[in-house]
Structure 1
């Protein structure tokens, strides 16, 4: 396992045709690999328009099991290109049971596992509780050919607890596939700067690299702002994309993790025995009735 790793993030807009979106994504994955990417991450729910804008029972029919033909094709693609591939998809785990998930394939095509989104938002145009059960896979870390990685899916990326757990379990790169854009109640507001700051700050607190991939473009009443980026263990954004389709290719040096953690000894100086209130929903008097 080398210290230098090249990350590829695919930032796309999605039309109504799932098969066409999938085919387009496959071509972008091949392009990323041709440009040197060793780990490629797609956006949340990569091949369909974002479902959370409305409540539509027919959209359950777009969910697929982890052994579906589409994911089998992604496994073969990872193997043929020799890349690690993170594929966020709408998972059908059983009759009437659905998750917002990300399947991880190693560079030999092996399915290393699936992360299911833990934090499920409920807000105008983000009606995800209708479509997804809360994840039950915990916070797995995957030891791939090119490094140890952890995944937080969209809303998960805002929670510092997720990043800390993944870092403590050995993750060196945190991948955050996303679908985030305009706010229904504040149409003039862009949360992109806050999004980038909040997530890159996890890199500082945990001494890890961050790679966030977002979708882009107009879908029904929402505009997704893109902004996919990679940041280093001191929170510096190494590269980001504008609000248009694109592929981000960024080489990183995992050895920088040692430097950052030796400089800022957050993991050494933790006091987990004092963190009991974090396990209580109403830990502080200001939150109690």
Structure 2
């Protein structure tokens, strides 16, 4: 793990996933892991569902993996001391299937996030195939860096990022599968993600890494434009629409200064927020979607 005295070198693996071809995608992951190691990367982030493809639908059953599957073990061994975050369909307890991101290091799983917001609008149908995650958690990358993973639409629920920051996150990782006009022609996905990432970085004094894929799958055009931002919202590195390994160094001193100047996390007033949520539930009742959770 990286010393706090040195910058944290973060990389986004903007790749083209082969839909449904897990073997080909594993091979691509291993090649990128090797390249990242050669470039001194400490944390490598792949896109959402990077092992299988996005619009998988009924192939979910054939492509899902248990967390102790040898494929995951192989990637964990290849990672060595580097933290590697990749996407897959996880088969959890009781035959529940999740859009999942797993972080591995030193031959083992160090973290797992199940996507909470499952979009079923526009050209997106995740709610038909996946169970929703229920927790916002963080994990240690390298002291004092603590990461939160929010998968794609999770980052369009500001409450989830707010919770991550209050849980102590100092780095926000966003594996996404963003396609042009996936929500609708009126919604500019590339511009939206640029605004989204900058808002969170500036508001919480927290570096943000957004890793998108490229290519065409089931009529969806994935455009790339992965990016890494510093805690002031400045873009440190940004990709175009080609396969690339995007690399940037993060300095914890920048985060300390950003949070001192704009103390959003310090001034969050969790007690007030919890009180108002309880009051709102008392007024409006508990929506069906909350009961299901």
Instruction: State TM-score, norm by structure 1.
Output: 0.89
Q: Secondary structure at the match of 1:126?
A: coil
State the partner residue of 1:83: 82
Is the partner of 2:52 in helix, strand or coil?
Answer: coil
Distance apart, 1:186 and its partner CA: 3.4
Change (3 A) 1:273 1:59: closer
Displacement after TM superposition at 1:250 (Å) = 0.6
Contact 2:116/2:133 (CA < 8 Å) preserved in 1?
yes
Alignment of 1:142-181 (within 5 A): 142-145=139-142, 147-181=145-179
Residue 40 of structure 1, CA deviation: 0.5
- The yes-or-no answer on 1:141 pairing with 2:138 is yes
Identify the range of structure 1 (89-98 vs 118-127) with the bigger mean alpha-carbon deviation. Answer: 89-98
Matched residue SS, 2:256 = helix
Deviations 1:94-153 (A, max 9, x none): 4541011111123x23321211111111113210011111103x1111112362111101
Aligned pair 1:35/2:33, yes or no? no
Q: What SS class does the counterpart of residue 140 from structure 2 fall into?
A: strand
> What CA distance in whole angstroms lies between the structure 1 residues aligned with 2:8 and 2:30?
21
* In structure 2, distance between residues paired with 1:283 and 1:247: 50
Change (3 A) 1:97 1:205: same
Show the 5 A alignment for 1:180-195.
Answer: 180-184=178-182, 186-187=184-185, 190-195=188-193
Residue pair 2:116, 2:132 contacting (<8 A) in 1 also: yes
CA RMSD of aligned residues (A): 2.1
Q: Choose which of 219, 222, 234 in structure 1 pairs with 2:220.
A: 222
Decide whether aligned partners of structure 1 residues 271 and 241 sit closer, same or farther in structure 2, where only a CA change above 3 A counts. same
Is 1:23 the counterpart of 2:21? The answer is no
Number of matched pairs: 277
Residue segments in structure 2 that go unaligned for 5+ positions in a row: 285-293
Report the equivalent of 1:287: none
- Using the size of structure 2 for normalisation, the TM-score is 0.87
Superposition pairs of residues 42-57 of structure 1, within 5 angstroms:
42-51=46-55, 56-57=57-58
Q: What secondary structure is seen at the aligned counterpart in 2 of 1:122?
A: coil
Q: 1:101 to 1:58 in 2, by over 3 A?
A: closer
TM-superposed deviation, 1:160? 1.7
For 1:204 and 1:260, locate their aligned partners in 2 and report how far apart those are by CA, in whole Å.
8
Shift of the 265–184 alpha-carbon distance from structure 1 to 2, 3 Å rule, reads closer
